[in-house]
Amino acid sequence: MIIFKNEFKNKSVLVTGGNTGIGAAICLMFAKQGATVFLNYKEHDTNAKATKKRIEDMGGVVHVIKADITQYNEVSEMFKTIKNTIGNLDYLVNNAAVVRSNYITFMSQKEWDEVLDTNLRGAFYCTKFAANMMRKKHSGSIVNITSISAISPDVANSNYAVSKAGLAMLTHSSAKEFGRFGIRVNAIAPGPVNTLMTDLSEDKIDELTKLTPLGRIASGDDIATIVCFFCSNIAEFLTGQVITVDGGISL
């Protein structure tokens, strides 16, 4: 699938949580368009190796970096690796996320902290380091993967909803702050996507499909396409936007 032919040739992108699901789809789509991909992940080594192989088998360039984005020092080292490898960074996709479902009255401090740390703190760290690299060349694009849960939360997922709502506001705030450096910041709020993280049952997929006006739930490619759009020259005057990509389920 060639969507933005040669758009990302000689460009570089960092995708957090790039080994599975939406992140893997984003890595593959950027690689297909000629970008050098930095695939970040924390766990599931087998998935990271599999995604790396898929990219290399189609002739793409990928560098895999295992790092915990909730740890400031590990994020710092990751960006040093990127700088030493290619010199700069054109795009950042803050995709890494975790879910720890529980009711508020039963939710542990660990369950709350793990979700906020990964989904929001990690995105903040990566945004900070990426912006410092991008501002030197006065260009760049950051895309945050938030969720429709930020505006329509599920029961027993308050930590996830809060983290994604915070990420949407980080999108607005950083877009306003970084505009003078030529850096654009946008976000995508996906609806249901069947990934390793969500692990939807067949019955749940059928239920969600019936609720979705377009008659199916999203694929990773549906989200990856909009990520590439935001990073492309077509969207050069878009910043601070949060686009819902959910097939109409939130209507």
Active site residues: 160
Using the Cα atoms of residue 66, residue 68, residue 69 and residue 72 in order, give the sign of their dihedral: negative
DSSP 161: H
Which residues are CB-contacts of 131 (< 8 A; sequence separation ≥ 6)?
A: 140, 142, 174, 178, 181, 183
Give the dihedral of Cα atoms 10, 128, 148, 68; nearest 10 deg. Answer: 90
Question: Is residue 90 a contact partner of residue 140, using CB atoms and an 8 Å limit?
Answer: yes
Q: Which amino acid is at 167?
A: L
- Residue 113, helix vs strand vs coil: helix
Using the Cα atoms of residue 121, residue 194, residue 29 and residue 222 in order, give the sign of their dihedral: negative
Give the dihedral of Cα atoms 84, 19, 98, 119; nearest 10 deg. Answer: 30
